[in-house]
Amino acid sequence: MTHALHPRALAKANPMPDPLLTVRDFSVEYDVTPPVKAVKNVSLELQRGEILGLAGESGCGKTTLAYGVQRLLRAPAVITGGDVVFHDAKGADIDVNTLDADEMQRFRWDKISMVFQGAMNALNPVATIGAQLDDVFLVHRPDMGRAERRRECEELLEIVKVGRDRYRSYPHELSGGMRQRVMIAMALALRPQLMVMDEPTTALDVLVQRDILQQISELRHEFGFSVIFITHDLPLLLEISDRIAIMREGEIVELGTSRDIWERPRHDYTKKLLSSFPRLTGAKGVLAR
């Protein structure tokens, strides 16, 4: 382990604000004709150890926002304004917008990592998962020796319960759930302080999904990282998130604890979203049959 659990890691243990990421007036535009304002003056503060859910329908800007704070967007997307400040556990505040290419390369994955949507497509089909994990250390920890890298990779596969004996497996030899765990192992490799998860369980069936969510929650408690969790599955988000930001047309229309969003939604759009999914055990409601 590169560093132990941060003492202030658990939002639960400490209600005092201890921000990890401060986003102020952040705006992103897609420079097409006519220009599309995908994210409009978004401000939010992510706490250390917190799981923040980003919800909203397709095209609301949730993915653009989450990618934008890591400057992972490419043209025609342009960040048109705002600051993103990362409050490093080691004390220094990092203004993400001012990092040059080399600094950015060191910052990404080391401080913020990602679990991408669709593990099927995110892993290289012609490389073993061991080699792909190894790459992370090869690039970011050039001082590590081969044996040490191997040990770390195997340990990661154990942590996410894929098992070290899968080190030489190719992605197609693993089930969808296992592939998604490999993605999580990869994101966890450098013990980042923030993981951005973009629809990490959408393609999985409910039993596997529940397993993976449970694992994310356990790892979060163990390693103390924060999570930005993007999905349009609001029922799932309500269960896993500490707080939820509801986005619509590039703006956060409501931000509150999951319980408040569920019990006391204030914005009409939040109410509409909440009513748009059928309840498992509740009254019939929206599905007219």
Partner 1 sequence: MTALEFRNVTKRYRVRGAQPILALDDVSFTLRERQTIALVGQSGSGKSTIAKILTQLETPTSGQVLLDGKPIPTRGRGLRAYRQQLRMVFQDPFASLNPYHSIRYHLERPLRLDDVVPAAETDAEVRRLLERVRLDADAVIDRRPHELSGGQRQRVAIARALASRPKLLVADEPVSMLDVSIRVGVLNLLAELQRDEGLGVLYITHDLATARHFSDEIMVLHHGRVVEQGAADDVILTPQHEYTRALRAASPDPEKHFASAPGIPDVRTANGGAA
- Summarize as ranges the residues that interact with partner 1 (CB under 8 A): 11-12, 57-58, 176, 204-211, 213-214, 216-218, 232-236, 238-242, 258-259, 262-263, 272-273, 276-282, 284-289
Q: CB under 8 Å to 257, separation ≥6 — which residues?
A: 242, 243, 244
Q: Shortest gap between Cβ of 159 and partner 1 (angstroms)?
A: 16
Helix or strand (DSSP H, E) at 69 = none
Q: Shortest gap between Cβ of 175 and partner 1 (angstroms)?
A: 8
Nearer to partner 1, 138 or 286 (CB): 286
Q: Shortest gap between Cβ of 242 and partner 1 (angstroms)?
A: 6
Nearer to partner 1, 14 or 97 (CB): 14
Q: Shortest gap between Cβ of 156 and partner 1 (angstroms)?
A: 21
Q: Extract the tokens encoding 139.
A: 């690039």
* Strands (DSSP E) found in the chain: 19-30, 36-47, 51-55, 77-87, 93-95, 112-115, 194-198, 226-230, 243-248, 251-257
Nearer to partner 1, 147 or 206 (CB): 206
Nearer to partner 1, 28 or 236 (CB): 236
Answer yes or no: are the C-beta atoms of 184 and 216 closer than 8 Å.
yes
Q: Shortest gap between Cβ of 229 and partner 1 (angstroms)?
A: 11
C-alpha span between 83 and 51 (Å, rounded): 21
What amino acid is encoded at 15 in this protein?
P
Q: Other C-beta atoms within 10 Å of 133: how many?
A: 22
Answer yes or no: are the C-beta atoms of 106 and 43 closer than 8 Å.
no
Q: Shortest gap between Cβ of 61 and partner 1 (angstroms)?
A: 14
C-alpha span between 26 and 185 (Å, rounded): 30
Nearer to partner 1, 92 or 206 (CB): 206
Nearer to partner 1, 130 or 265 (CB): 265
